[in-house]
Each structure stands twice: as C-alpha cells, then as structure tokens.
Chains A and B, each alone.
Chain A
Amino acid sequence: MKSTCTHENDVERWFDGEQPNDPQLESHIEHCTTCQKHLTFMKTCRASLEALPETPTIDDAQMPAFLAGISEGVHAPKRRHAGLWAMASVSAAAVIVAVSMMTITSEGPAPVAADTIVETYSTDIDGASAELLYTDSGTPTIWLNAPDSGTPTIWLNAPEDGEL
C-alpha cells in the first residue's frame, strides 16, 4: 500500500522552487521517508523529461505553410506509370507500322545471284525429244528436236560438261 504524507504538496512546491527557503520543510524531508521517496520520484521524472529529444515546435506564423503541406500530400494524385506505358505503346506501334509499310511497299527481292535451274523438261510430241542447252550468255535454253526437222545443229556452243 502506498504511504502518503500531508507535506507532499509542500515538497512539490519546494522542488519546483515556489518556496525555496523553508528550513522547516527541509528538516521534515530529512526525517520523512515518504517525502524522500516522493522527492526522489520527482527528480527521476525531471531527469527523464530533460533526457527526451527536443520536440520541434510550430509557431503560429508557420502553421499555414504546415497545413498547406499536409493538404498537398493528401490531395496530390498518386504517381502512375501511364506515361511510360503510353510511350512504350506508341514506340511499338511506330515500329510495327514502319515494318509493315516496308513490307507492303517494297518492290520485292532484287535480282538474285543464284542461277536459273531447269528441274524437268519433256515433250509429248511423238518421236521428238527435248534437250537443255546454254547460249553464250549463259541463258538456259530448252530446245525441242522435232522429227520433221531432224536434229538441228543450231548451237554455236556445245555444253562443256557433256551432260546435256
């Protein structure tokens, strides 16, 4: 059970400096353990409060700016990535359109270096034959040797590999 003393209020005022010179009270404190404990408690509290970091204060002149900052923080829209997405979409669309236009408007492949190949050749004329020859310019020529004309000796150049 907590003990009390009728002088505790006087001790508090003395501790706060409201009645600094009171020899009678000081003598009481020396002999009253309750007042001594209360005095020790108040000293501990004061020391703890003094150890706290200094609390910033807002003057009346600063208050409007302080409130304006709070309002701005509350009402400012959240940052979104809409701009980034829009930019990415526009860029992708531009690339796709460019590639499509190039594909659509291109005039097709340029003349290729590869040669023309004759895969198969034949004739349905009875007694006739077909052969593959090349002119001096290297132009492949499929020639029909018809029976009524015999085998024409019309070539200035014979095939080099003899396969024709």
Chain B
Amino acid sequence: MRHLAFITALLWLSGLSYAMTDPAPVEITVVSVQASNKGTPHKTFSKGLEKVKSAIASLSYDTFEKIGSSNAVIPFGEKTTFYINQRYSLVVEPTSIDDQGRIRLKTQILMQSKKDSDPVKALDTVLVMAPGKHLNLGGLKLTDGDLIVVMKVK
C-alpha cells in the first residue's frame, strides 16, 4: 500500500510539473526596418538585416535600413509592447498554441497620430505563426520611407 501511494504521488507530481511547464512562454524577435527608394542600382541592406533579408528582399524598395531589433519572452495571455520609434509601437499577446506547435498571437501596431491623444491601431491582426518563420507588417509611413516590422517566433 505504501508503494502504491508513493507511485501515485510521483505520477501526480509528474503531471503537475508537466502542467506547469506547458505551454512555455513564447520567444519573439522583432526587427524594424525603414524601406525606401533612393535610386541605387542594387538593393542595399544595412548591417543587422542579414537574418531578415530573405523575408523583405522582394519588396520594391532599393534601400533597407535597420531601425532596431528586440527579443522578448512573453507568457501566454500577457501583452508586451515593443517600442519602434516615437510614432509607432508594436503590441504582442500570445494567446494559445495549436496542435502543430503554431503560436496564435494578437498583434497591433499602434500609431501616435497626435501628441497627447490616444494611439490609433494602425494594424490590428490575429496571426497563427509557425515557429522559425517570418511575418511582415508594413506600409506605415515614416519621414523618409515606409516602416516594415519583421516578426519571428521561436
């Protein structure tokens, strides 16, 4: 009887540990890029865009300059804000994981159109992202070019 209780306790602890560790928080990488056309004969990519070059190379711009990049580990159900510049920010909230390991995310690019006013949802999306694959959010106006935000989950 004592052994049976011991095994039952171990099974319970195993299940508890499994429940506590699944799902793991989501690691998200965000790279923001300013894309523009400056009349260069070949497409140019600034330093730091090597890993996202394939995701944006076919866009009809000739110059891609990195604005910034950031990594975050986000638990499910929590929102995290990535600051891009004074005008734009990206809000990401992982909500669930499907049976193929894809992460469902709510993402919003907020735009501060006027000082002291509430930001506007420039883009509001629900994504189911496959780990290791890129996704672009773009078309937002910058002073000199357009903003492209490249996202990837691990």
| A-to-B contact residues, CB < 8 Å | 85-86, 88-89, 92-93, 96-97, 99-100, 103-104, 108-125, 128, 130, 135-137, 139-146, 148-149, 152-157
**Known contacts A108-B154, A112-B100, A123-B121; A89 and B21 CB within 8 A of each other:** no
- Whether the Cβ atoms of B100 and A114 lie closer than 8 Å is yes
From A97, A109, A154, A157, B61 is in contact (CB under 8 Å) with: A154
- Whether the Cβ atoms of B127 and A117 lie closer than 8 Å is yes
Please count how many residues in chain B sit with their CB below 8 Å of the partner chain's CB atoms: 49
From B17, B57, B100, B130, A135 is in contact (CB under 8 Å) with: B57
> Which residues of chain B come closer than 8 Å to A89, judged between CB atoms?
3, 6-7
| B-to-A contact residues, CB < 8 Å | 3, 6-7, 10-11, 13-14, 17-18, 21-22, 24, 54-61, 100-102, 104, 111, 120-141, 146, 154
Q: Would you give the shortest CB distance from A82 to chain B, in whole angstroms?
A: 9
From B11, B24, B125, B130, A121 is in contact (CB under 8 Å) with: B125
A-B contact pairs, 20 of them (CB 8 A): A93-B10, A99-B14, A103-B17, A103-B18, A108-B24, A110-B131, A115-B130, A117-B102, A118-B125, A120-B124, A121-B123, A123-B123, A135-B58, A136-B57, A142-B135, A144-B139, A145-B139, A146-B139, A146-B141, A149-B146
